[in-house]
Amino acid sequence: MRLALDELRSVHPALRGDPIDLSRCGGLALQRSGHASPVRSSIDHDGHEGTADIEWAFQDLAILEVLDSNRVTEDGAEAIALAYANSNAGWVVKRRLQRGESADWLLQDGTGWLALEVSGTISGDPVARLEEKKRQVARCSLPAGRLAIVVAFDRPSIVAASA
Amino acid sequence: MMETALLALTEDELNTLVSIAIRRAEVSDDVNSPTASDAWHEVMVYEERIASITRPEEITGGIARVGAVRAALAAGQRLEAARLASLYLAEEALPLERRVAMERAFERDREHRARRFSALARTGRLAELDEWRATASRHPRVFPVAA
């Protein structure tokens, strides 16, 4: 699987007007952890294992001096998670959800809806974080499928679980 | 002015705007910015507009209706939140799950205020905050909004 962060706004048109460049944050978060494009990431989605090659345009790390580190991690994780959700199953962003909905994004495909909760970690245990996020998105009451994705940046990995 | 400009926008355009506004408002909350209530007001305006062009039984329509109420509460506009909730709850097609979500939004707001203004909560005077906020909102802001 190929995850091209620079194509994020093409596959998710709803992100086009957003001043926050999630793709850039994805690249920054990966480079901050010492990676260069493309980097191979492991995938574990409900126990099914695979790999993805994540590609991005080179970013100047000097910009990290003026950005909030946690936001770069979270926004970078969102970039990778949204790219994965599209590549894996064709999900497309409809809108961001308020925190009270217990999920970050509402996505759609031709036939249904998905509530997606995303988190990122630089060096923590993504599986432990995934359990927490899975419990969170399970509380989402919308008539939609529920998916939690955690992205780890040090040893790039994408862990995902349906709730 | 802003409300008039929104009339020309499509649902997809409004979804993009509300997505941007939600993120800005949540980040403002995280850093205790004094502009957070203005940011939530903007979210409320977008959610209201989406609600007006979607049906209550649609997933996006239900999200927008609860979202407008939540945003009004987050902006400290509790009378407006109550007005919107009354309007949306009167729609027969609004799913039960959305009705429950709306009730929970009010519960969480009450819990949040009780923690933040514990002395008032202990003496049963939280309602005074709403009265003060309603009065303050009718006058130019001399002091930052606290509630």
Per-residue pLDDT of chain A (163 residues; tens, 9 = 90+): 999 999 999 999 999 877 778 999 999 999 999 999 999 999 999 999 999 999 999 999 999 999 999 999 999 999 999 999 999 999 999 999 999 999 999 999 989 999 999 999 999 889 999 999 999 999 999 999 999 999 999 999 999 999 9
What's the rounded mean pLDDT across residues B52-57? 98
Residue of chain A nearest B31, judged by CA positions: A68
Q: Specify the DSSP element, H or E, that contains A49.
A: strand A48-55
State the pLDDT at residue B126.
75
Q: Residue B92: pLDDT band by 50, 70, 90 thresholds?
A: very high
Q: Residue B143: pLDDT band by 50, 70, 90 thresholds?
A: low
State the pLDDT at residue B55.
98
State the pLDDT at residue B112.
86
Contact B20, A18 (CB under 8 A): yes
Is the pLDDT at B71 greater than 80? The verdict is yes
Chain B closest CA to A44's CA: distance in Å? 28
State the pLDDT at residue B103.
97
State the pLDDT at residue B142.
60
Angstrom distance (rounded) from CA B30 to CA B26:
6
Q: Residue B129: pLDDT band by 50, 70, 90 thresholds?
A: confident
Residue of chain A nearest B19, judged by CA positions: A96
Contact A38, A54 (CB under 8 A): yes
Set of chain A residues whose Cβ sits within 8 Å of the Cβ of B59: 106, 113, 142-144
The residue type found at B33 is: S
State the pLDDT at residue B137.
66
Q: Which residues contact B117 (CB under 8 A, 6 or more apart)?
A: B126, B129, B147
Let me know the angle formed at the C-alpha of A134 by A132 and A138, rounded to the nearest 5 degrees.
120
What's the rounded mean pLDDT across residues B75-86? 95
The sheet carrying A39-45 orders its strands as A2-4, A48-55, A39-45, A157-162, A145-152, A113-121, A105-108, A92-96
State the pLDDT at residue A133.
97
Set of chain A residues whose Cβ sits within 8 Å of the Cβ of B67: 97-98
Q: Residue B141: pLDDT band by 50, 70, 90 thresholds?
A: low
A101 touches chain B (CB under 8 A): yes
State the pLDDT at residue B144.
60
Other C-beta atoms lying within 10 Å of the C-beta of residue A20: 17
pTM: 0.90
Closest Cα partner for A115 from A99, A126, A132? A99
> Which of the pair, B10 or B8, is modelled with greater confidence?
B10
Span between the terminal Cα atoms of chain A, in Å: 23
Set of chain B residues whose Cβ sits within 8 Å of the Cβ of A96: 18-19, 22-23
**Which two three-digit tokens encode residue A158?**
């994408």
State the ipTM, two decimals. Answer: 0.91
Is there a contact between A141 and B100 if contact means CB atoms under 8 Å apart?
A: yes
State the pLDDT at residue A19.
72
DSSP state at residue B58: S
Residue of chain B nearest A94, judged by CA positions: B15
Is there a contact between B105 and A100 if contact means CB atoms under 8 Å apart?
A: yes
What's the rounded mean pLDDT across residues B92-109? 97
Q: Specify the DSSP element, H or E, that contains A133.
A: helix A126-138
User: pLDDT tens digits for A9-19?
Assistant: 999 999 987 77
Angstrom distance (rounded) from CA A38 to CA B139:
56
- Residue in B12, B59, B67 nearest the CB of A98: B67
Other C-beta atoms lying within 10 Å of the C-beta of residue B93: 11
Helix (H, G, I), strand (E, B), or coil: what is residue B82? Answer: helix
Closest Cα partner for A122 from A71, A59, A83? A71
What's the rounded mean pLDDT across residues B6-32? 92
User: pLDDT tens digits for A12-52?
Assistant: 999 987 777 899 999 999 999 999 999 999 999 999 999 99
State the pLDDT at residue B21.
95
Is there a contact between A141 and B105 if contact means CB atoms under 8 Å apart?
A: no
